[in-house]
Structure 1
């Protein structure tokens, strides 16, 4: 039987996970990435227990769990430093079956590439979906070096996905969420700190440790789209957050202006009619861009990739039924996470002083009276498990052992 062939457009987290998962299922894979090289760019990414279990399908879950840096306490603070609510890493891991892992995106990309044969990822290869294909007709992708025909094309080309526009030209695409974000990775500050997220009026800040000793910090603020600081983004951050509690001033002091990443946040307010058409499928931000307020964007892309591969056995000659099943599995779940992330975004971007005071008082009261309640917002998200057959044998036994308490 001829080995089926898939072309993945985009070498981000979702695209590389899909490539690795399909490779393990027996597919021949080509990943086309427009960037000249897979450079260590970007900032941090949060991987919760749901994506860690998905990564077990490509024998990568334990590698990610080993990178967990958060130990002990942390929580939510006000700009003056008062703790609104507290939580600890052990409680989070126990509730959802795995730690919350913060790591640099470049670290995750390197791990994913290590699960692929040499030569699968082709950089400097801008690609366009010329034909999504149909039963009896392969899909076709064009590049400067020629055309690629494939049994399957995966559009993992991000929030401005050209593949999405080709498949669904009438869809309006992502909508501006009303706020912008900044992200930095710096060496660890001299003074120790507890991981935290800090909520102010129309502004938030987060400071989180990475396993390699560095610190990932992020900020978000209500702003018109397309804005930029009149001098540089570090100076803009100092104006917004320079008088907030420690370690925020220490973090800002260690930031080089050129290392600050700024992005407006957009999300898929209107769902796509499907995540596939013909022999082409979408995943990650190309399908369901979401606000980062629940830290689930990369997690959902990883889930997408593993579920897609689960439906695509190597003996499939026409993927139409498999892709329809993928849409049925993923569209309702991911759009639920999109909506929940948007609701959280509205809460953290309140600008009215009375509304912020009421929000903070409610959070503090819940923290005192029901300390574990904050984690419930992730019920139905972080406790997700992939379809069991996607596990390799060892990971499947381990997952069953965790669920039942058996000593296997």
Structure 2
């Protein structure tokens, strides 16, 4: 029986531990904290990710805990609609609910080790599922693989109120973005992003909220109502980091999944989805093939897609947060909106 050390007990790590065959692998999950994240956020589960959740046996529970996206709107900074679309097959689920459900899928045979990982565990396979600042990636792929700091600050949170009438969607202003979407149990998930010198560490959430209220003090009434209800204890404020481009996700005795492999900006809403697909793909290969072949095949299957998504997400960030090019961008969107009517 091979020993597998999963460094990181988030979405990718739990999904992998849940899918690995306990008759073939002795799994230990290494996680810094025992408790769930204190601030709730919401995640979009696209159809491919739902297939991974189905393979894990928790898709019906995720559907029950989550909410359907339905219609989506792209707006300018004042709230006027550029374009409308439909996303009927996308489920929004809170990160806390998803983590709880993934926990239920992990076999009781999986061991737990809590606390920071100072050095790589002794195992037949070490899995880096430890996020964009992955210690496994730096230890095996080298210091050049350190996470890269973007100039953007991101705030997000869930409010215990429904989405304000006719306020849902993404607002693309001049150098700033704001999103309002339904969350589970009739609540509202909101997020904002813009360039900022705050941080990167020790960001005061109250200060970040005050700055955000000032930045978004324009005529969009929906944004004003959401920010009036936002409180520091319900808000996450972080600078956005990304993983560098990699040429492979696996080497002898080590493999990367999720944000450790391809941490990207959040603008495509694909980070958690690709983490789930990584985990199920890797587990199925490990369950059915020799270790070396499974790792090589996993890297080939997942590398091009996820690196392309990482690049596309960065491009979307630049478009959504355009500053000097904002008037041209908005003009093109208005033309597209008129052409689609």
TM-score if structure 1 supplies the norm length? 0.77
2:181 is paired with a residue whose SS is strand
Between the aligned partners of 1:64 and 1:189, the Cα distance in structure 2 is 20
How many residue pairs were aligned? 339
Alignment equivalent of 1:169, drawn from 142, 145, 150: 142
* Distance apart, 1:184 and its partner CA: 1.2
Between the aligned partners of 1:4 and 1:122, the Cα distance in structure 2 is 17
Between the aligned partners of 1:315 and 1:288, the Cα distance in structure 2 is 24
* Distance apart, 1:340 and its partner CA: 0.5
Q: Give the structure 2 partner of residue 279 of structure 1.
A: 253
Alignment equivalent of 1:155, drawn from 122, 128, 141: 128
Between the aligned partners of 1:59 and 1:37, the Cα distance in structure 2 is 23
Alignment equivalent of 2:292, drawn from 320, 323, 328: 320
**CA contact 2:77–2:174 (8 Å) conserved in 1:** no
**CA contact 2:163–2:182 (8 Å) conserved in 1:** no
Between the aligned partners of 1:283 and 1:231, the Cα distance in structure 2 is 33
* Distance apart, 1:123 and its partner CA: 5.4
The CA deviation string for residues 314-348 of structure 1, in whole angstroms up to 9 with x for no partner, is: 674xx122111111111111100001101101101
* Distance apart, 1:292 and its partner CA: 0.5
Between the aligned partners of 1:326 and 1:263, the Cα distance in structure 2 is 31
The answer as to 2:213 corresponding to 1:232 is no
Query: Residues 192, 67 of structure 1: CA spacing in aligned structure 2 closer, same or farther, 3 A cutoff?
Result: farther
Query: Residues 197, 4 of structure 1: CA spacing in aligned structure 2 closer, same or farther, 3 A cutoff?
Result: same
* Distance apart, 1:110 and its partner CA: 0.4
**CA contact 1:34–1:125 (8 Å) conserved in 2:** yes
* Distance apart, 1:122 and its partner CA: 2.4
1:171 is paired with a residue whose SS is helix
Q: Tell me, which stretches of 5 or more residues in structure 1 are unaligned? A: 94-98, 131-140, 142-148, 372-408
Between the aligned partners of 2:163 and 2:253, the Cα distance in structure 1 is 53
The answer as to 2:176 corresponding to 1:203 is yes
**CA contact 1:74–1:194 (8 Å) conserved in 2:** no
* Distance apart, 1:151 and its partner CA: 2.6
**CA contact 1:84–1:367 (8 Å) conserved in 2:** yes
Q: Tell me, which stretches of 5 or more residues in structure 2 are unaligned? A: none
Q: Give the structure 2 partner of residue 61 of structure 1.
A: 59
TM-score if structure 2 supplies the norm length? 0.91
Between the aligned partners of 1:361 and 1:190, the Cα distance in structure 2 is 28
**CA contact 2:7–2:29 (8 Å) conserved in 1:** yes
* Distance apart, 1:299 and its partner CA: 1.0
The CA deviation string for residues 362-384 of structure 1, in whole angstroms up to 9 with x for no partner, is: 1222233247xxxxxxxxxxxxx
1:212 is paired with a residue whose SS is helix
> Over aligned residues, Cα RMSD in angstroms?
2.4
Q: Give the structure 2 partner of residue 288 of structure 1.
A: 262
* Distance apart, 1:275 and its partner CA: 1.0
- Greater gyration radius: 1
The CA deviation string for residues 72-126 of structure 1, in whole angstroms up to 9 with x for no partner, is: 43311112221010113xxx34xxxxx2122210000001001013473625332
Query: Residues 230, 258 of structure 1: CA spacing in aligned structure 2 closer, same or farther, 3 A cutoff?
Result: closer
1:226-375 matched pairs, under 5 angstroms: 226=199, 228=203, 232-268=207-243, 270-313=244-287, 316=290, 319-352=291-324, 355-370=325-340
The answer as to 2:203 corresponding to 1:213 is no
* Distance apart, 1:231 and its partner CA: 5.9
Alignment equivalent of 2:33, drawn from 27, 32, 35: 35
Query: Residues 196, 28 of structure 1: CA spacing in aligned structure 2 closer, same or farther, 3 A cutoff?
Result: same
Query: Residues 313, 278 of structure 1: CA spacing in aligned structure 2 closer, same or farther, 3 A cutoff?
Result: same
* Distance apart, 1:274 and its partner CA: 1.7
